[in-house]
Amino acid sequence: MRTQVCIIGGGPSGLLLSQLLHLKGIDTVVLERKSRDYVLGRIRAGVLEFGMIELLREAGVGARMDRQGLIHDGAFIALQNRGFRIDFKKLTDKQVMVYGQTEVTRDLYEARDEWDAPTVFDVRAVNPQGIDTDAPFVTYLQGGKVHRIDCDFVAGCDGFHGVSRAAIPADVRREYERVYPFGWLGVLSATPPVSHEIIYANHPRGFALCSMRNLNLSRYYIQTPVDDPLEGWSDAAFWDELKRRIPESAADKIVTGPSIEKSIAPLRSFVSEPMRWGRLFLVGDAAHIVPPTGAKGLNLAASDVRYLYHGLTRHYLDHDDHELEQYSEKALARVWKATRFSWWFTNIMHRFPDQSEFDQRMQETELAFLETSRAAQTVLAENYVGLPY
């Protein structure tokens, strides 16, 4: 098989890149390790930055998002039993949208169905080769047979545990990591959200988050030790602990119910440099991970897609490789800024195992300053709605 761009990974970043390139007449093939049903069954992020919203519209997959997505003008920051609101719209003239990653992925797959896009599922032993030459190719195993795709470029959109990053020589890669000493216990429930906007809560017992996927589907999180046994958390125990950590005004009116999905996610900050090696380009979680505090993960993948999409379009349509050559530098500049924001927000909102009373007071003081400083609120809002591309 021959294509122009071989995309490893059939999640939202790989699908979005393929969709955008298709609209420019550039051929792609997407390889996915799991089945389509498995990909669509994953529960992931749900807050879209302004820039990602525009990119999905540009890709022609924004219609259902615009009908069903929930526009948020701000978010609430809670400190024990009180809180304040950050007004994104007032401070930046931009908004964010709550629209689940699963729904984004579904819209992209439905768009692929319309143009009968080449997608290969259930692949094994994917191996990008010749990426430092002018003739790269990708081999994979399916149905007991080895297949080969010859291509011009390879886009590694296969996540943190994928094969793409490892294809860059170890003596070339430089990796930076911060593993946090806690996780997020998340519950999805078929209940109305407790608030019309997201609540981030700092509490001496640990962080909590009240979010949503739609008007009848809520997503709640509490900070726990990352090695906490999941079976030790009954639904009742989760709701009781969540109520302790959020303001009484929210705890008194929260609607609880059986969990549809429950899991504990570890938190880490991770960046791998460079994001390009020869004809291989890393996109999204293949190159960087951020803690979910601040909702940057999916949005960072979208900004990578935008840079690579523009670079490949210039290469094929204008015979200009300048943007491709600048891909890693431009993407990493934005990645590090978003990583800084997620790291900062995580540090001021969570309870660390070795945290002293002094440390807790510093967090409280920083949040008190944030409450009263328009400049500090503007910095948070600018980062939350998404830094410029």
Note the residue count of the chain.
389
Contact 164, 286 (CB under 8 A): yes
For 209, the 3-state DSSP assignment is strand
Is 89 marked active-site?
no
The active-site residue out of 203, 296, 315, 330 is 296
List 253's β-bridge partners, or say none: none
**8 A C-beta contact, residue 239 and residue 91:** no
Could you say which of 193, 292, 307, 316 is catalytic?
292
Cα–Cα dist 41/168, whole Å: 30
User: What are 89's two structure tokens?
Assistant: 């719209």
> Does residue 274 have a cis bond before it (omega within 30 degrees)?
yes
> Would residue 196 show up in a list of annotated catalytic residues for this protein?
no
- Cβ(198)–Cβ(210) under 8 Å? yes
Contact 238, 188 (CB under 8 A): no
CA angle 124, 128, 8 (to 5 degrees): 60
Indicate which residue of 99, 140, 200, 307 is catalytic: 200
Structural tokens at position 13: 């970043």
Contact (Cβ atoms closer than 8 angstroms) between residue 224 and residue 263: no
Specify whether 200 is catalytic. yes
Among candidate residues 201, 33, 20, 179, the one with its CA nearest the CA of residue 112: 20
Q: Known catalytic residue: 38?
A: no
Q: From the centroid of its chain, how far is CA 125?
A: 25
Active site residue 384: yes
d(CA 353, CA 359): 11
Pick the catalytic residue from 72, 203, 262, 288: 72
Segment holding 349, helix H or strand E: helix 327-349
Q: Which residues are catalytic?
A: 72, 200, 292, 296, 384
